[in-house]
Amino acid sequence: MEFSDREYGRARYSVGRSATEDFTLDADELLEMVQTAIDDGLGIETVIDKIAELIDEVAWDRCDPSLDTIGEYDYDDHDSTDSDNSAVEFSRTQVRDRLLVFLRTRHPQLLEAL
């Protein structure tokens, strides 16, 4: 005798995924933020805040990180839906340092005006 059975269903899983990728900010876009801060009489912290806000808003659209799986799962046929807790983490100190290097080397007059 042979017995057979077919099981139907959906696999549900939750796996942590992460990746690292550089976020590129166009020089013209950055200079516009700097000039706006200067025109409004604001300082470098305002520019850093604007850059951080931009990263939070558009990093997932501008970057294409290849996310690695941290956990283990093995489903040959599963239904995967979009993440509901996607996040972008970055260092405001690093944003500040890169902004200062950019302004010092390419636009020192704008750095003085800030």
Can you give the pLDDT of all 114 residues of the chain as single tens digits? 454 556 666 766 666 677 888 888 999 999 999 999 999 999 999 999 999 999 989 888 888 777 766 555 555 555 555 555 677 888 999 999 999 999 999 999 999 999
pTM of the model: 0.71
pLDDT reported for residue 1: 45
Structure token digits, residue 60: 């997932």
Chain centroid to Cα 4, Å, comes to 49
Contacts of 14 (CB under 8 A, 6+ apart): 71
Indicate the angle between helix axes 92-106 and 27-39, nearest 10 degrees.
Answer: 90
Q: Is 96 exposed, middle or buried (CB count within 10 Å of its CB: 0-12, 13-18, 19+)? A: middle
